[in-house]
């Protein structure tokens, strides 16, 4: 019966009044801003405390002290700390992040190029993860302790144990070298349309998704099993709902809170933690940019990239918090 396939058979939960929801969002946005400012301060201070003079690094060890001093002034490194911090904050707001010491190009431009690849990759990998994990987790919970459950759970155990770079190499061997369906690496950009770009991100996304999906599937399974033991499941069955209807209409939404928490962490991880996979597939991602900038002591790039990642993690958490309140009516919006 297709009625049983509808995930939420209820209207989205209402909050006491629409006004409460907007107050909640406003308060949450203010906290978000405060967190971002706090993060920026910490990032700025920590990177400034690092030993080594950027100007000296750029000019090499045998540059004349005069030249180094001149460059220091040119880069604005001689100004007081507070002034430099405020200058950077202003830049963050208007999008003028200065020029990379190493490349000489605007940092904003460098980051934008990398994000054009990193964000689509993270979204694609997260989509694959979610689809695989929810399907496997719900299936195994519904077939608890039966053959299908044991089989799929063994697969997830293998999935967790797989190093993703090794799995990525296997994927390249099969799909790029042997079958020649997809290219082994590189990223053509989005200029030629969506398909060439997506094709080149497919294998990396699969390589990233397999491990994440294995973890998320186990989280989903145990969350669903926990809810299946609840009294209200028996109540719903006593009303005459089939097992399937109870699973889709009563259990899943209750099981979503832990699943959502892990998904938030995973997405944040996909934005920043993909440097190994970027290297395997020669992808110009954010992870490689950060790695190269650290190696070059290109502190202005490092600082902005770290700020960007912190910002993305904070925003992902914000979205997850809002979703909690949307899913669970017991989570009082004003308590978040």
Interaction site with another protein (CB under 8 A): 9-10, 13-14, 230-232, 234-243, 250, 253-254, 327-330
Nearer to another protein, 190 or 232 (CB): 232
Looking up tokens 């006593």, which residue turns up?
238
Rounded to the nearest whole angstrom, what is the least distance from the CB of residue 35 to another protein in the complex? 29
Looking up tokens 């997809």, which residue turns up?
182
Nearer to another protein, 224 or 313 (CB): 224
> What tokens does 155 get?
């697969």
Rounded to the nearest whole angstrom, what is the least distance from the CB of residue 148 to another protein in the complex? 15
CA of residue 139 relative to chain centroid, distance: 26
Do 99 and 109 form a contact (C-beta atoms < 8 A)? no
* Backbone φ, ψ for residue 169 (5° rounding): -65, -40
* Backbone φ, ψ for residue 282 (5° rounding): 50, 50
Nearer to another protein, 84 or 243 (CB): 243
> What tokens does 268 get?
């944040």
Nearer to another protein, 236 or 308 (CB): 236
Do 119 and 199 form a contact (C-beta atoms < 8 A)? no
Identify the three-state secondary structure at position 61.
coil
CA atoms of 317 and 113, how far apart (whole Å) = 25
CA atoms of 98 and 64, how far apart (whole Å) = 25
Looking up tokens 């989509």, which residue turns up?
127
**What separation in angstroms does the CA of 216 have from each of 138, 141, 150, 210, 280?**
11, 13, 16, 10, 24
Rounded to the nearest whole angstrom, what is the least distance from the CB of residue 151 to another protein in the complex? 19
Rounded to the nearest whole angstrom, what is the least distance from the CB of residue 17 to another protein in the complex? 12
Nearer to another protein, 178 or 229 (CB): 229
Rounded to the nearest whole angstrom, what is the least distance from the CB of residue 253 to another protein in the complex? 5
CA atoms of 326 and 47, how far apart (whole Å) = 38
Rounded to the nearest whole angstrom, what is the least distance from the CB of residue 173 to another protein in the complex? 44
Nearer to another protein, 134 or 236 (CB): 236
């Amino acid at each position: 019966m297709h009625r049983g396939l509808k995930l939420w058979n209820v209207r989205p939960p209402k909050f006491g009044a629409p006004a409460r929801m907007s107050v909640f969002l406003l308060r949450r946005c203010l906290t978000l801003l405060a967190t971002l400012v706090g993060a920026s301060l910490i990032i700025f201070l920590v990177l400034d405390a690092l030993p080594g003079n950027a100007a000296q690094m750029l000019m090499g060890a045998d540059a004349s002290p005069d030249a180094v001093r001149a460059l220091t002034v040119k880069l604005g490194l001689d100004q007081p700390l507070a002034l430099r911090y405020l200058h950077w904050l202003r830049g963050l707001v208007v999008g003028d992040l200065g020029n990379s010491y190493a490349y000489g190009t605007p940092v904003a431009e460098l980051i934008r190029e990398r994000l054009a690849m990193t964000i689509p990759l993270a979204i694609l990998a997260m989509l694959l993860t979610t689809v695989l994990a929810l399907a496997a987790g719900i299936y195994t919970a519904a077939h608890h302790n039966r053959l299908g459950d044991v089989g799929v759970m063994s697969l997830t155990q293998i999935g967790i144990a797989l190093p993703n770079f090794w799995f990525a190499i296997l994927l390249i061997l099969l799909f790029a070298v042997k079958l020649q369906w997809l290219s082994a690496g590189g990223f053509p950009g989005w200029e030629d349309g969506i398909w060439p770009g997506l094709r080149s991100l497919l294998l990396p996304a699969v390589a990233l998704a397999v491990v994440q999906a294995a973890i998320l599937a186990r989280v989903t399974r145990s969350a669903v099993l926990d809810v299946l033991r609840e009294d209200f499941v028996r109540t719903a069955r006593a009303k005459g709902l089939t097992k399937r209807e109870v699973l889709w209409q009563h259990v899943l939404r209750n099981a979503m809170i832990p699943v959502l928490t892990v998904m938030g962490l995973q997405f944040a991880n996909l934005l920043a933690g993909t440097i190994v996979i970027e290297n395997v597939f020669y992808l110009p991602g954010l992870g490689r940019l950060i790695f190269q900038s650290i190696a070059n002591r290109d502190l202005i790039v490092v600082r902005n990239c770290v700020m960007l990642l912190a910002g993305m993690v904070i925003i992902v958490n914000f979205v997850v918090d809002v979703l909690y309140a949307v899913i669970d009516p017991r989570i009082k919006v004003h308590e978040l």
